[in-house]
Structure 1
């Protein structure tokens, strides 16, 4: 590949998926720069090989344009600070990325979500599934993809869609914030799935590896490529719970997620409103069809589930560092 094609700008490198992709790109030999508001603080907290940090804000068009100069790929994994003001900040940020990518003839890469779809209408997501979201967040994500599809007439676009994240760096996720909170030894598991609905999960290191493999394909990809990452498919909502129990090696109590409390608190905004609007994704099964991904790569990266859950719980502090490994648990 040409030198420019192996150079990436990451927006959102301090987040879960952006950080995982940054590390995977560096490990694969890419030249990586990352736009962050405070490079000095980021350097101190960053683990492992460092990208080239650039001071700037994704809300500032000029800053994004300067940071993107000479890159072949722009990874757009940025979210509003504290996940607030989605309706005011998300679309201007993607517009800034589109403008900078067009100016530099760079491929835009976006981590897609399942929230663009109504799970009461779509049980299996593929690249042609209708996007008819009911939540505010879903409608914004749909508009992001519409703008990217229009932009692909001028600059190439890759969207890789995945389910809910888990992994050591997935701090802002349903797994870490609700299901198995980190920061202290795990004492109970919250089960957000309602009844026996299926749910799609994505282990961040596997997802990041998939991003890099696709980005390495360069012009072999379509100008507008929308691919689904199957990840971990929990067909009845019990597999992830039992995997956590197996790794913790005890009969951990399982509580149902307090959806009723989210409904009561939703009018006041914040997380309860976001959770309440997305509740149907936990009430209905929605699987990701990865046939296009398999056609491109041959296979999807897949870490054994117990290994992935163990790494997640240790990394988030829900298990001590010296907890028995998944291999030891399997051999016991």
Structure 2
């Protein structure tokens, strides 16, 4: 069920004629510790903007024209589209007027989580981000996923684990990363990919609020896979803090780096063990009741996938819930020391509060987590 990704040709130069305006001499006047976040209103983009601001960086964050700018201390918002070369040029000009940037965080995503949207939008979005980073003389950083490794992936994923994607979005992502690496080899820019598991925390639109926790107030947990299969999860504030640490260590890195963020390695049973007492505490379950565990309607998703593209995507990714895997972070730790890590029960509590499922509490400390080896 693969998509035709022939339009993504790894041998086509990243910066072609439409981007020729960016090929002039780079300015050296920008400060060393300024970051530009592309897609700053998205889940990861906003978490990254907050983390860099709290880490002492000057933060510029791009958003769509007409969008409401979130109130985030230490963040300057730039309302600018990125859908044409002229729009990219305009953003670069804005950033230069603001003093430049030495790091660009690419947090732009296709509008829909479907094969078709990824094929149409993912590469142009990254191309825009690369053009901005190249023009500014900045390192581009972006989150990666495990789609690259495919259904036959081993249980432990290293940075040099062979990438054999088995579904369309994995092939698209692998080709994009290959083109990014090619650009670094040609000396156009520097790039870092930080690969992570399922995102959660800091906003809606994740597996938790869209599926797993939809019935939690009625005493039911929905699991996409078996109870005993362990998969990696990335708490966004921890991942964002990792980006800050990696950005601070970029001088010690090669022009192209791929790093693994371990995050939380969780089985379905781990979710039950933490959510069941919490559900009792909140009155969603009686003291003697147990949490009911259900699954997703996979046969229905398969049947209607041709009519509902987002369901077809879920079916294509189902193997991730059935195959145990984890991301080995030794290379990351060698670069930054311990990985930023909020204990999972605390991360889940913060997530439920963000979703409005638990009563509001006092704002947690800036660094509420620990560092994990």
Match of residue 303, structure 2, among 264, 284, 301: 264
Structure with greater Cα Rg: 2
Q: Select between 156-165 and 65-74 the one with higher mean Cα deviation.
A: 65-74
TM-score (norm 1): 0.88
Q: Which among 350, 355, 365 is matched to residue 311 of structure 1?
A: 350
Aligned position for 1:25? 52
1:282 paired residue number: 321
Do 1:9 and 1:67's aligned partners in 2 also have CA atoms closer than 8 Å?
no
Pick aligned residue for 2:231 from 183, 199, 213:
199
Q: 2:219 & 2:110 partners in 1: Cα distance?
A: 31
Q: Within the alignment, does 1:157 sit opposite 2:191 as a pair? A: yes
Q: 2:277 aligns with which of 225, 246, 267?
A: 246
Q: For residues 90-137 of structure 1, what are the alpha-carbon distances to aligned partners after superposition, in whole Å with 9 as ceiling and x for unaligned?
A: 101111121222222110101000111114233221111111112211
Q: Deviations over 1:129-169 (max 9, x none)?
A: 11111221111111121111112122111110000011132
Partner SS, residue 255 of structure 1: strand
Q: Note the C-alpha offset of 1:217.
A: 1.4
Change (3 A) 1:99 1:3: closer
Shift of 1:320: 3.4
Q: 1:73 aligns with which of 103, 112, 115?
A: 103
- Alignment partner for residue 88 of structure 2, among 39, 64, 87? 64
| Secondary structure, aligned partner of 1:219 | helix
1:180-222 deviations in Å (ceiling 9; x for gaps) = 249x956421111235221110111111111101111131122
8 Å CA contact 1:115–1:138 kept in 2: the answer is yes
Contact 1:168–1:313 at 8 Å: present in 2 too?
no
Q: Is the 8 A contact 1:186 1:319 kept in 2?
A: no
CA 60–181 in structure 1, closer or farther in 2 if over 3 Å, else same: farther
How far apart are 1:67 and its partner, in Å? 2.2
Q: State which of 179, 197, 200 in structure 1 corresponds to 2:212.
A: 179
TM-score normalised to structure 2 length: 0.79
- Tell me if 1:110 matches 2:106: no
Is the alpha carbon distance of 1:320 and 1:265 closer, same or farther for their aligned partners in structure 2, counting shifts above 3 Å? farther
314-323 or 271-280, larger mean C-alpha shift: 314-323
| Partner residue in 1 for 2:77 | 53
Q: Which residue does the alignment assign to 1:329?
A: none
CA–CA separation in structure 1 for the residues paired with 2:36 and 2:361: 36
CA contact (8 A) 1:117 1:133 kept: yes
Deviations 1:278-317 (A, max 9, x none): 0011110111010101111221111111111111111112
The answer (yes or no) to whether the contact 1:87–1:140 under 8 Å persists in 2 is yes
Question: Which structure 2 segments of 5+ residues have no match?
Answer: 1-28, 365-373
Aligned-residue CA RMSD in angstroms?
A: 2.3
Q: Distance in 1 between matches of 2:320 and 2:294?
A: 18
CA deviation string 1:55-90 (max 9, x = no partner): 222322332343244221111111122445211111
Tell me the secondary structure at the aligned position of residue 244 of structure 1.
Answer: helix
* 2:152 maps to 1:120: yes
> 1:298 pairs with 333, 337, 341, which one?
337
